[in-house]
Amino acid sequence: MGAHRDPAVARAALVREIVAGGALADPAWRAAFEEVPRDLFVPYYFVGGPGGYERLWGADPDPARRERWLAGVYTDMPLATRVRDGELLSSSSQPSLMARMLEVLAIRDGDAVLEIGAGTGYNAALLCHRLGEGLVTTVDLEPEITESARTHLAAAGFHPAVVTGDGARGCPSRAPFDKIIATCTLPWVPSAWLRQCARGALIEAPLATGLILLKVRDAGYAQGRFLHTPAYFVPLRGVAPGPERDLPYAGGLPHPGLESDLFRFLLALTEDSLDPYEAYELWRREGRPRRERFGVTVSGGRQWAWLDDPQGPYTWPLRDAA
């Protein structure tokens, strides 16, 4: 535990672990993770689960508990940061997953980025480090969350636009955006996001138990495929989650498992269209397809998921706001 007593040493060790796992090849993102202190953004977090949570915090008078807190902050795992009546409301995502998501967005100098789900403010701080605070907007529905994120960001020296509002509506006053990244699970892609995107913009968001990367053609059309990376996040607040979205590991990667994880992805993606037996037969017949064979199209007010081909035989309408 001694190595964790110095946050800078612990942070450097975490970055080396993420790099060893294949992320942070871009020097700009590696520098962001090396220089932005995660401990400023999670002054406390909760460990445990629905059976009961234990709060660990950096100002605990017990040195051993402070040690546990700091060790957890710089472990590659998601941290539960806001719990209400036993329900997880917000988390600090797993750093290696954050790194992968940020790199996939192919952010370039000058890009304006909208983040949906402010969380602790840590992800927004990484974006500010990479782009400058003037190009970063982060939105969350809960005033307590945005106020906390704003405070954490200021402590780290960043002052992006932190907006309290419905993430599904985006932030029209700050549009257009070159990149939109969501850190909460969606049942569909909000149409407002497309209208606030520049032509050719990218949208990256958790959907079902995967990450969809969409390229925006115009205000009415976007299309893209899922990444191979599985991911579990808390749902976008104000949206009722489906049964497969009430899953552990919020803000992180699942524990290593068998092919059942891929089948659960198909179930979550098609929950309103296929019963489990039909879904399993399709999944087996098509060679147990992985996430990257699936995609999503948004066009003319319609949204659908598909396997292999947007116009192919296997398409499913996405559950929408109605």
The one catalytic residue in 90, 91, 148, 191 is 90
8 A C-beta contact, residue 211 and residue 101: yes
90 is catalytic: yes
8 A C-beta contact, residue 63 and residue 91: no
Tokens 């590659």 found at: 76
Alpha carbon distance 252, 259 (integer Å): 18
Alpha carbon distance 216, 284 (integer Å): 32
Alpha carbon distance 117, 70 (integer Å): 24
Alpha carbon distance 152, 41 (integer Å): 5
* 317 prior amide bond cis, ω within 30: no
8 A C-beta contact, residue 316 and residue 304: yes
Alpha carbon distance 203, 60 (integer Å): 40
Residues with catalytic function: 90
